[in-house]
Structure formats: structure tokens, C-alpha cells
Structure 1
Amino acid sequence: MVPKKAVLLSNSFLSYTIFFFLIFFFLEVTVIHGKPHQFSRVLSPASLGLKEGKLTQLQVYWHDIVSGSNPSAIRVAAAPQTNTSPTGFGALMMIDDPLTEGPEMSSKLVGRAQGFYSSASQSEVGLLMAMNFAFTDGKYNGSTITILGRNTVFSKEREMPVIGGSGLFRFARGFAKVKTHKFDAATGDATTEYNIHVYHY
């Protein structure tokens, strides 16, 4: 018969052996076979060529055309109750709206507003808007500003945040003051003035 003390010593030895084996295995995997992964690091703004920030003001006119054979805004989704809702609640519109320098469609095209808006209020015509203003003219050609916010379209003036940008508008932040310039109740077409203040590098 094996003495009880010998059994305890044997079990203890086995436990220590397993413990040291696990430690050795962990060290081998993390140290010998590679470094632990790191997915972030702190950078200096200068390393990306960023200089002092500046504030830019832009004024453009947004043309939302829902009528005719070639609309720039089309409904892509709706709820069963949308057509009977006084606010059009649940409608989702995809847009590729022209942005012009002046209020008339014949004025100079400076970009496109691409994204969507949806009717998100049951009590008033309140839209959730998510758009990229993709500029195509002058030094801003190829740069974008991203606007995401609430637009109560029958208010005299609305404000929506600028949440980002690309190209010359990298790290953009700011706001857009929005006013309806013209609305055709018969067709649903609208022209809206966007007065944008954007801080960027």
C-alpha cells in the first residue's frame, strides 16, 4: 500500500508540473512565435501632413427633383402605412441631387448630394438626412463633406451637423444652416439653400 503522504506529494508534483508547462507554452507562443497584436497607436498630426486648422464657408443650392422621367430622388422603401400618413412616415428616398452655385438649375454645377433621406416623424415632416456633398468643381473637386442630421422641412431655417469629410475636408466638423428657397407642391420638387461652415485641415 502506498503511503498517504507519498500520494499527496505525487499529486502536488503533478500540479506544479502542469502549471509550469502551461506557463512555458504561453511564453513560447507569445514571445518565440510572435509579438502580441496591437491595433492602435498615437500619431502626431504632422505625420499626416496636417497643418493648422481653418474654417471654410460654402453656400450651395440643393435641387431635389422627384418629378419627370429622370428624377434625382426616388423612393426605394416605404411602410404599409406610409401612403396614409400625413407626414409620409416610413418613406425612404435615395438621392443624387445636383448642387449648384446659384438657386437656378441653369447655374454652375459644383457637385452632387448623394445619400438618402427618410421621413422619421409621425407628428411633422421631419427627415433623417444622411448625405455626402461630393464636389466636382475647382480646388474642391474630389473632396466631400458628410452631413447627418434632422431636417424639419417646413421650418424657416434648420441646422444640421457636418460630421466628416474627405480630401481637402479631412477631419471636417461643423454645421449647415438650411433654408427652403423654392418648393413646388404640385410636383414635390424643391430647391434648398445650404450655408455650410466647416472646420478642417
Structure 2
Amino acid sequence: MAELLLNLSSTAVFLLAVLSLTSSFATIESKPFARVLSPSSMGLTKPKKLSHLHFYFHDIVVGKNATAIRVAKAPTKTAFGAVVVIDDPLTVGPDIDSKLVGKAQGIYVTTSQTEASLLMAYNFALMQGVYNGSSLSVMGRNPVFSDVREMPVIGGSGVFRLARGYAEARTSRYDYNTGNAFVEYNVYVLHSDSLVQSLKLIFTFG
């Protein structure tokens, strides 16, 4: 009799364990693959703040403190197919020694066989004021000898969550001997303003 009760008890414990595991798996599997959330549940508002950023981009190809390094080159007699990694300073003024507000970090690739045109894929990693720690992502075509080039802003982080917009680039100075370039940027972005409002700060470059 004792042996029968022991066997029944063991069976009951086993069944409870199986039921518990089944319940756990059912809970895990019941979570949806995708769902729609309210932006406010993540502290976001609709992208309604328009910000204008103005700064200078310093692309130093040759020099003691080069900020643009070629890491690959196709076996051609032209510049076509070259890949360059950049960590270019962004400053308030055209002088490289003026106030540093961020870095342009990423790559550019020469993508045309007939003109000086680049594919730019990089982040503006910002370092000043309310924008410190935030970034903007840019990806687009840059025909470098055009007077004005326009590239899309495809996203952002921090203050610039849900960002979209465009960046206008104008060459301020170019050294044909070294390839060093100094470019003026005007960037216009729409983004969530919830973080800016919560900090109650206004910050402008310049």
C-alpha cells in the first residue's frame, strides 16, 4: 500500500512538472512577433520639432593628424573604388581650432568612373549642450565639386530619435595638392521634441 501511494505521489509530481513546463512554453509562445505601440508609451511624441544645425566639417587626408584614412583601393588607374574611413572634426567656425561640437564618423566610397562623386555613409556624433551623446545618420550621394550637395538624414539617436531631413554641404576650401577639404554644413531635421522639452534647454551651434 505504501509503495502504491509512493508511486502515485511520484506520478502526480511528474504530471505537475509537465503541466508547469507546458504552461511556461504556452506563455512564451503567446508573445506576438510584432505589435503596435503608442509612441507615448516610450516617451516619444510625433516628429514635430525642426532643428537647424550649422557647422564645418574638416576632412584631413594628408598631414600629421589625418582624419580620413584610405583602407581599400580597387585595382584601377583612377580613384574609382577607393574606400575611406573618417573621424572628421565638426567645428563652429571654418577654422579647425574653433570650438569642437562633434565628429563625423563613418566611410565614404568613390562610386563614379566619370566624375568625383562619393557615397557617404556616416554619423554626426554630437558633443555639445543638450545634443551631447546624440547622433544623426547621413547616407547619400556627394558629387564633391558641385556648389551645393544635398544628402538625406535617415535617422538619429538621443534627442534626434525618429529624425528625418537633409544635409546641405558647401565646400569652403579644398587643397588640390593634398585632397584636404573643409566643408560648411547646414542640416535640417524633423524629430521628436519630447527629450528637448523635458530638459527645457535651447542649444545652437555658433
TM bucket normalised to smaller? 0.7 to 0.9
Letter in 2 for 1:136: M
Shift of 1:69: 2.4
Secondary structure of 2:130's partner?
A: helix
Mapping of residues 32-181 of structure 1, within 5 Å: 33-34=25-26, 35-52=29-46, 53-81=48-76, 84-85=77-78, 88-181=79-172
- Give me the whole-angstrom Cα distance separating, in 1, the residues matched to 2:160 and 2:37: 19
Shift of 1:187: 1.3
Structure 2 gap segments, 5+ residues each: 1-20, 193-206
Q: Which moved further from structure 2: 36-45 or 133-142?
A: 36-45
TM-score normalised by structure 1 residue count: 0.80
The residue number in structure 2 matching 1:14 is none
Structure 1 gap segments, 5+ residues each: 1-28
Could you say if the C-alpha distance between residues 67 and 42 of structure 1 is closer, same or farther in structure 2, counting changes exceeding 3 Å?
A: same
The residue number in structure 1 matching 2:195 is none
- Is the Cα–Cα contact under 8 Å of residues 30 and 36 in structure 1 kept in the other structure? no
Shift of 1:123: 1.1
- Give me the whole-angstrom Cα distance separating, in 1, the residues matched to 2:151 and 2:43: 29
- Give me the whole-angstrom Cα distance separating, in 2, the residues matched to 1:79 and 1:50: 45
The residue number in structure 2 matching 1:21 is none
Q: Which moved further from structure 2: 161-170 or 38-47?
A: 38-47
Secondary structure of 1:124's partner?
A: coil
Shift of 1:70: 2.3
RMSD between superposed Cα atoms in Å: 1.6
Shift of 1:118: 0.5
Equivalent residue pairs, number? 169
| Post-superposition CA distance 1:65-123 (Å, at most 9, x none) | 01112210000001010xx21xx100000000000011111211000000000000011
Secondary structure of 1:139's partner?
A: helix
